[in-house]
């Protein structure tokens, strides 16, 4: 019924139009109104008739040659190749290989790299730009700072200069040199994007005082130098943010942070740090609190206390949750370790912890962490 009515209305409309045309009457026209002139106070009036754009300065500084920097530093950069023993699903051993970078800090064979480049390797081989290859005599590592020293039996090596990482400003040019993708020593350039960055790498491991750069950092670059335009090492390439949609976010351990750690690795073979005498730490959140039936939902859960250590001597036990270290609130493992490693060996500290539904406070003296 509705379709018939619509056809009927359309037919009537056509008949009416035809009658208008046959009678000589003009069809109604659409009337448009011309635009009016803008009011006197509109934006069409000039702001400043006498204004002229700034003149071109023409005094821009000529950028330093990156090629000169690379030529200066490249002989000090080494490729590091490692071999590991892996096991398949049938527990059969097989050999895995890895590649990274390093740089010569001392002409008598001391090479700086990252801990994660050489950690647990069965063999470490160092190759210089000139093609010479050396097997590592000694490897000393520090997991917490992700730094390592490799010693090779060689002399008169081209060592790199170390710069002050506090001097560069955000926006200053830097060059990253390393064994990118294990394909030999190459260079990329960028700027210092940020300073003093902290990144949590894993539970209990946070790298602080990092230099962020947009210089391309690829697998194999780890352990290589980040240098300024004077060819001085101001950072050790360590980590990269690799996510979909993220570009140009690489990080280097600052030279000022690395220098005392490198010195201890060379002089002692390990880094001296305070020791609490606890192990198997776990960050407490709501799910952990529910699983372990804890009375608090944040802190650092001690799943192990070493016999004879400072915590054991202070009466602490496995299952305790540390919530305060001196005056610092402890929300998790990272906060506890940061507070601990900011203290000194032999320092007396106050620890607040929960055992069941009871909050306790104890004082203990921090010992020196035994070598790993």
DSSP 291-312: HTT-S-SSEEEEEEE-TTSHHH
Q: Could you tell me the end-to-end alpha-carbon distance of the chain, in angstroms, rounded to an integer?
A: 92
Look at 127-136, 195-204, 208-217, 244-253 and tell me which has the smallest mean pLDDT: 244-253
Q: Cβ(368)–Cβ(340) under 8 Å?
A: no
Q: Sorting pLDDT into bands at 50, 70 and 90, what band is 83?
A: very high
Choose, from 101, 146, 238, 320, the residue flagged as catalytic: 146
Rg (CA), the chain: 34
Mean per-residue pLDDT, 183-209: 87
Q: How far is CA 157 from the centre of its chain?
A: 31
Whether the model pTM is above 0.75: no
The pair of structure tokens assigned to 7 is 């056809």
Greater pLDDT, 172 or 5: 172
CA distance 70 to 251: 19
H/E stretch holding 361: strand 358-365
In this prediction, residue 14 carries a pLDDT of 57
Q: Sorting pLDDT into bands at 50, 70 and 90, what band is 234?
A: very high
CA distance 211 to 232: 14
Task: Count CA atoms closer than 13 A to 123's CA, side-chain side.
Answer: 8
Catalytic, 146? Answer: yes
- Highest mean pLDDT (candidates 13-17, 201-205, 347-351): 347-351
Q: What is the DSSP letter of 74?
A: G
Average pLDDT, the chain: 86
Choose, from 101, 116, 238, 320, the residue flagged as catalytic: 116
H/E stretch holding 53: none
CA distance 274 to 289: 28
Catalytic, 222? Answer: yes
In this prediction, residue 42 carries a pLDDT of 58
Mean per-residue pLDDT, 157-169: 95
CA distance 5 to 12: 11
pLDDT digits (tens, 9 = 90+) for 241-295: 555 555 668 899 999 999 999 999 999 999 999 999 998 999 999 999 999 999 9
Is 145 a residue whose pLDDT tops 70? yes
Q: Cβ(101)–Cβ(237) under 8 Å?
A: yes
Greater pLDDT, 102 or 57: 102
Helix, strand or coil for residue 290? helix
With a CB cutoff of 8 Å and minimum separation 6, the contacts of 174 are 168, 189, 190, 191, 192, 211, 213, 215, 226, 227, 228, 229, 234, 235
DSSP 228-249: -TTSEEEEEEEEE---TT--S-
Measured from the Cβ of residue 8, the count of other Cβ atoms closer than 10 Å reads: 10
CATH class of 66-152: mainly beta
Q: Sorting pLDDT into bands at 50, 70 and 90, what band is 39?
A: low
Q: Between β-strands 205-213 and 278-284, what pairing exists: parallel, antiparallel or unpaired?
A: unpaired
Mean per-residue pLDDT, 128-144: 93
In this prediction, residue 146 carries a pLDDT of 93
In this prediction, residue 249 carries a pLDDT of 81
Hey, which residues does 349 pair with through a beta bridge? 364
pLDDT digits (tens, 9 = 90+) for 290-310: 999 999 999 999 999 999 999
In this prediction, residue 2 carries a pLDDT of 46
In this prediction, residue 150 carries a pLDDT of 96
Look at 53-62, 126-135, 265-274, 282-291 and tell me which has the smallest mean pLDDT: 53-62
Q: How far is CA 347 from the centre of its chain?
A: 31
- Phi and psi (nearest 5°) for 118? -120, -5
Domains 66-152 and 161-267 share a fold: yes
Hey, which residues does 141 pair with through a beta bridge? 148
With a CB cutoff of 8 Å and minimum separation 6, the contacts of 232 are 160, 161, 162, 163, 164
Mean per-residue pLDDT, 221-228: 94
Q: Of the candidates 316, 317, 328, 320, which has an alpha carbon nearest to the alpha carbon of residue 362?
A: 316
Domain 161-267: which CATH number of 3.30.450.20, 1.10.510.10, 3.40.50.2300, 2.40.10.10 = 2.40.10.10
CATH code reported for the domain at 274-368? 2.30.42.10
In this prediction, residue 181 carries a pLDDT of 87
Measured from the Cβ of residue 161, the count of other Cβ atoms closer than 10 Å reads: 14
Is 311 a residue whose pLDDT tops 70? yes
In this prediction, residue 26 carries a pLDDT of 57
Q: Where are the domains of the chain?
A: 66-152, 161-267, 274-368
CA distance 127 to 108: 15
In 164-231, which ranges are E strands? 173-178, 186-202, 205-213, 225-227
Mean per-residue pLDDT, 7-13: 60
């Amino acid at each position: 019924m509705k379709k018939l009515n619509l056809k009927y209305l359309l037919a009537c409309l056509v008949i009416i139009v035809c009658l208008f045309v046959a009678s000589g009457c003009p069809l109604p026209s659409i009337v448009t109104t011309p635009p009016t002139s803008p009011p006197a106070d509109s934006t069409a009036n000039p702001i400043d008739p006498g204004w002229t754009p700034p003149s071109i300065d023409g005094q821009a500084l000529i950028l330093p040659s990156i090629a000169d920097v690379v030529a200066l530093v490249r002989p000090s950069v080494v490729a590091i190749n490692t071999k590991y023993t892996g096991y398949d699903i049938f527990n059969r051993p097989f050999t895995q290989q890895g590649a990274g970078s390093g740089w010569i800090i001392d002409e008598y064979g001391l090479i700086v790299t990252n801990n994660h480049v050489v950690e647990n390797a069965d063999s470490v081989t160092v190759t210089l730009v000139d093609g010479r290859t050396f097997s590592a005599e000694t490897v000393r590592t520090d997991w917490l700072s992700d730094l390592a020293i490799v010693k090779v039996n060689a002399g008169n090596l081209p060592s790199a200069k170390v710069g002050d990482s506090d001097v560069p400003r955000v926006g200053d040019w830097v060059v990253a040199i390393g064994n990118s993708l294990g394909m030999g020593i190459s260079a990329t350039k960028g700027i210092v994007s940020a300073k003093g960055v902290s990144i949590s790498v894993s539970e209990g491991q946070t790298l602080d005082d990092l230099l962020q750069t947009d210089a391309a950092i690829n697998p194999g670059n780890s352990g290589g130098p980040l240098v300024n335009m004077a060819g001085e090492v101001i950072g050790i390439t360590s980590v990269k943010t690799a996510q979909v949609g993220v570009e140009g976010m690489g990080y280097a351990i600052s030279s000022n942070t690395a220098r005392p750690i490198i010195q201890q690795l060379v002089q002692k073979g390990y880094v001296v740090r305070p020791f609490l005498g606890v192990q198997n730490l776990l960050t407490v959140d709501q799910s952990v609190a529910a699983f372990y039936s804890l009375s608090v939902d944040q802190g650092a859960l001690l799943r192990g206390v070493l016999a004879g250590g400072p915590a054991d001597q202070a009466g602490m036990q496995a299952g305790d949750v540390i919530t305060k270290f001196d005056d610092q609130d402890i929300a998790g493992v990272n906060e506890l370790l940061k507070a601990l490693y900011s203290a000194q060996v032999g320092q007396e500290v106050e620890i607040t912890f929960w055992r069941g539904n009871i909050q306790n406070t104890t004082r203990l003296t921090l010992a020196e962490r035994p070598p790993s």
